[in-house]
Amino acid sequence: MTYREIIKMSVRTLRINKVRTLLTVLGVIIGISSVMIIVSAGDSMKKLVNGQLASFGSSLIQTETRVPEESGGASSQASGIVVTSMTLDDREAINKLPNISRSYANIIAQDLLSWEGNIKKTIIFGVSAEFIDIDNSKLAEGRFFNIEEDDNLARVIVLGSKIKEDLFGNSSPLGQSIKINKMNYKVIGVMEPRGSVLFFDYDTLAFVPVQTTQKLLLGVNYIQSISANMIDIKKDVETKEAINALLRERHDIDDPKRDDFQVSTMADAMDILNTVIGAVTLLLIALAMVSLIVGGVGIMNIMYATVAERTFEIGLRKAVGSTKKNILRQFLTEAVIITILGGIGGVIIGALVTYLIYVIANSYGFDWPFSISYIGILISLVFSTLVGLIFGSYPAKKAAELDPITALRRE
Amino acid sequence: MIELINLEKDYTNEELVTPVLRNINLKIAKGEFLAIMGPSGSGKSTLMHILGFLDILSSGKYIFQDKDVSSLDDDTLAIYRNQKVGFVFQSFNLLPKTSVWENVRLPLLYSGGLVDEKKVDQAIASVELTHRSKYLSNQLSGGEKQRVAIARALVNNPDIIFADEPTGNLDSRSGTQIMAILQKLNAEGHTVILVTHETNTAKHAKRIVRIKDGEIVSDEKNDEQIIAAKTELVK
Q: Is residue B33 part of a domain?
A: yes
Residue B75: pLDDT above 70? Answer: yes
Partner-chain contact B54 A324, CB within 8 Å:
no
- Per CB-CB distance under 8 Å, the chain A contacts of B113 are 2
Q: How far does the CA of residue B107 sit from the closest CA of chain A (Å)?
A: 5
Q: How many CA atoms lie within 13 A of B211 on its CB side?
A: 29
Contact B110 A317 (CB under 8 A): yes
pLDDT digits (tens, 9 = 90+) for A323-343: 999 999 998 998 889 888 988
Residue A75's pLDDT is 64
Q: Give how far A409 is from chain B: nearest CA, Å.
A: 10
Nearest to B98 by CA among A15, A19, A3: A15
Residues B99-123: what's their mean pLDDT?
90
Are B93 and A411 inside 8 Å of each other by CB? yes
Paired with A180 in beta bridges are A113, A183
Average pLDDT value over all residues in chain A: 87
Say which range, A177-186, A192-201, B62-71, B172-181, has the weakest mean pLDDT. A192-201
**Residues in chain A within 8 Å Cβ distance of B54:** 318-319, 404-405
- Quick one: which of B75, B221, B84 has its CA closest to A324? B75
DSSP codes joined into one string, A156-223: EEEE-HHHHHHHHTTS--TT-EEEETTEEEEEEEEEPP--EETTEEGGGEEEEEHHHIIIIII-----
Does residue B11 lie in a domain region?
A: no
Cβ(B55)–Cβ(B214) under 8 Å? no
Pairs of CB atoms within 8 A across A/B:
61
Contact between chains at B55 and A405 (C-beta distance less than 8 A):
yes
- Nearest-10 Cα torsion for B84, B89, B94, B95: -80
Q: Which residues of A touch B89 (CB under 8 A)?
A: 408
Distance from CA of B223 to the nearest CA of A (A): 33
Q: Which residue has the higher pLDDT, A355 or A82?
A: A355
Identify all chain A residues contacting B111, using CB atoms and an 8 Å cutoff: 321
For residue B67, being part of any structural domain is answered with no
Q: Tell me how close the Cα of B43 comes to any Cα of chain A, in angstroms.
A: 14
* Contact across the interface for A16 and B97, Cβ inside 8 Å: yes
Buried b (16+ CB within 10 A) or exposed e, B124-138: bebbebeebbeebbe
Q: Measure CB to CB from residue B110 to each of A1, A312, A404 and give the nearest one.
A: A1
ipTM of the complex: 0.89
Tell me, what's the pLDDT at A270? 80
Instruction: Give the span between the Cα atoms of B173 and B107, in whole angstroms.
Output: 28
Q: Which of A226, A266, A368 is nearest to A57 (CA)?
A: A266
Q: What angle do CA B139, B142, B144 make, to 5 degrees?
A: 70
> Where do runs of H (alpha helix) occur along chain B?
44-51, 74-83, 100-109, 117-126, 142-154, 172-187, 199-202, 224-234
How far A17 CA sits from the closest chain B CA (Å)? 11
Q: Which of B78, B91, B107 has the CB atom closest to A323's CB atom?
A: B78
Better pLDDT: A121 or A371: A121
Q: How many domains does chain B have?
A: 1
Are A6 and A13 within 8 A, CB to CB? no
Q: Which of residues 44-73 of B touch A (CB under 8 A)?
A: 49, 52, 54-55
CB distance A319–B93 less than 8 Å? yes
Show residues of chain B in contact with A2, CB under 8 Å.
113-114
Largest CA distance in chain B: 53
- In this complex, do B115 and A5 lie within 8 Å of one another by their Cβ atoms? yes
- Given a cut of 50, whether residue A234 has pLDDT beyond it is yes
Rounded CA gap, B54 and A59, in Å?
80
Question: By percentage, how much of chain A surpasses pLDDT 90?
Answer: 40
B154 lies in some domain: yes
Burial A125-155, CB ≥16 within 10 A → b, else e = bbbbbbbbebbebeeebbebbbeebbeeebb
CA separation for the pair B230, B235 (Å, rounded): 9
What is the arrangement of strands in the sheet containing B16-28, beginning at the earlier edge strand? B16-28, B2-13, B59-64, B67-68
Confirm or reject contact between B74 and chain A (CB < 8 A).
Answer: yes
| Category of A250 on φ-ψ map: left (φ > 0), alpha (ψ -120 to 50) or beta | alpha
**A interface residues, B as partner, C-beta within 8 Å:** 1-2, 5, 9, 16, 312-313, 316-326, 404-405, 408, 411
Q: What is the CATH number of the domain that holds B90?
A: 3.40.50.300
For chain A, give every domain's residue range: 3-53+271-408, 67-259
Is residue B176 one of the residues assigned to a domain?
Answer: yes
Tell me which of B72, B90, B93 to substitute to probe the interface with A (most A C-beta atoms closer than 10 Å).
Answer: B93
Q: Is residue B235's pLDDT more than 60?
A: no
Question: Confidence band (pLDDT; 50, 70, 90) for A243?
Answer: very high
Chain A hits for B52, Cβ within 8 Å: 319
- From chain B residues 166-195, the ones with a CB under 8 A of any chain A CB are none
Distance (Å) of CA B217 to CA B37, B42, B211, B212, B231: 10, 11, 6, 6, 11
Q: Is B95 on the interface with A (CB under 8 A)?
A: yes
* B229 near A CB under 8 A: no
Chain A neighbors of B152, CB-CB under 8 A: 320
Q: Place A382 in a pLDDT band, splitting at 50, 70 and 90.
A: confident
| Mean pLDDT, rounded, of chain B | 89
pTM of the full structure? 0.67
Q: Residues B17-43: pLDDT tens digits? A: 899 999 999 999 999 999 999 998 899
- Give yes or no for residue A355 having a pLDDT over 80: yes
Could you report the per-residue pLDDT of B198-232, keeping only the tens digit for each?
888 888 899 999 999 999 999 988 766 455 445 65
> What is the predicted pLDDT for the residue at A68?
86
Q: Which domain holds residue B166?
A: 28-46+85-234
User: A207 pLDDT exceeds 70?
Assistant: yes
Of the candidates A312, A320, A411, which has its C-beta nearest B107's C-beta? A320
Q: Which of B55, B110, B114 sits opposite A320 (nearest CB)?
A: B110
Contact B185, B161 (CB under 8 A): yes
- Label residue B87 by pLDDT band (50, 70, 90): very high
B167 falls within a domain: yes
Residue B54 domain-assigned (yes or no)? no
Mean pLDDT throughout B37-63?
Answer: 92
Which amino acid is it at A133?
D
CB contact under 8 Å between B111 and A321, yes or no, is yes
Q: Give contacts of B87 with chain A, Cβ < 8 Å.
A: 319-320
The pLDDT of residue B225 is 40
Give the closest of A2, A313, A321 to B81, CB-based: A321
What pLDDT does A221 receive? 94
Distance between CA A285 and CA A372 in Å, rounded?
15
Please indicate, yes or no, if residue B40 is contained in any of the structural domains. yes
